[in-house]
Amino acid sequence: MDAWRIAEPGADTEDVVWTVDLSQAGTGVFEVLSEEEQARADRFLRAEDRDRYVASHAALRLILGRRLGLPPRDLAFEAEEGGKPRLAGSRRGACRFNLSHSGARALVGLSRRVESGVDVEALRPMPDALRVARGHFAPEEARALAEVLEAGRASVFMGLWTRKEAVVKALGTGLALPLSRFEVSLPPAPARLLASGDPRLDPFAFTLLHLEPGPGTVGAAAFAAPDARPALRALPGDWPRRLESA
């Protein structure tokens, strides 16, 4: 199990991956979002998608606001060309971050110096894991997954998937970069970028981490540096109360 340390979000300067329990967020956190975020939240059809969106963006604002010494409501965002959100306005470039959410869990990657990408997935049955891997992953990954016993294949697939998503999110391309263009290690092997057919992805220039962010979830983080050692932090369970005083 990862060594997550419960901590107050603060103005530390090191690389960090935060894990957040979204289940306690309640409705009060909606007010901290921008009008644009509130409008997007209201377009979700399913209440659980809306609630997860609201809670994860409120938690992101709390973490970034504390780090930058700004009220969470005052942060402004814009999208890079490939869609990756970044800080806008006076704090543009002050800190790089990435967000992922699934089920009741969010991950936030933070760094002052390099890009990061994070991905969390709630573990669930994956009857079509091999079909997806053969259709979208590198051939060597699909072959290795086929050798995993069926009983354990879904969790290995999800681990592999989060490693690959973390990489494309660090790059900022999202799924516009074909997932077959590079190869990562399969769990339970330590997370590593093994090979790449894309000039933007040098296996020696990325650090990959396997994460277990909360019960029933698997995750990964990628940092665009060969030597990244991010601290693993967990927001206290009553984090929404910090927004009232922030």
Ligand X SMILES: CC(C)(COP(=O)(O)OP(=O)(O)OC[C@H]1O[C@@H](n2cnc3c(N)ncnc32)[C@H](O)[C@@H]1OP(=O)(O)O)[C@@H](O)C(=O)NCCC(=O)NCCS
Nearest distance from C-beta of residue 147 to ligand X, angstroms: 26
H or E element, residue 133: helix 129-136
Nearest distance from C-beta of residue 137 to ligand X, angstroms: 14
Quick check: 133 and 157 in contact, CB under 8 A? yes
Residue with smaller CB distance to ligand X, 42 or 146: 42
Quick check: 18 and 63 in contact, CB under 8 A? yes
Nearest distance from C-beta of residue 80 to ligand X, angstroms: 7
Nearest distance from C-beta of residue 176 to ligand X, angstroms: 5
Measured CA distances, 10 to 14, 61, 246 (Å): 11, 12, 12
Q: DSSP for 160-192? A: HHHHHHHHHHHHT-GGGS-GGGEEEPPTTSPP-
Angle between helices 150-171 and 129-136 (to 10 degrees): 40
Applying CB under 6 A, the residues found at the interface with ligand X are 53, 82-85, 98-101, 117, 119, 165, 169, 172, 174-176
Instruction: Give the 3-state secondary structure of residue 71.
Output: coil
Q: Please give the residue whose beta carbon sits closest to ligand X in the complex.
A: 174
Residue with smaller CB distance to ligand X, 80 or 143: 80
Residue with smaller CB distance to ligand X, 221 or 243: 221
Bridge partners of 141? none
Residue with smaller CB distance to ligand X, 52 or 153: 52
Nearest distance from C-beta of residue 51 to ligand X, angstroms: 12
Bridge partners of 220? 119, 210
Quick check: 48 and 142 in contact, CB under 8 A? no
Residue with smaller CB distance to ligand X, 146 or 175: 175
Nearest distance from C-beta of residue 40 to ligand X, angstroms: 8
Residue with smaller CB distance to ligand X, 44 or 231: 44
**What is the Cα–Cα distance from 93 to 104, expressed in whole angstroms?**
29
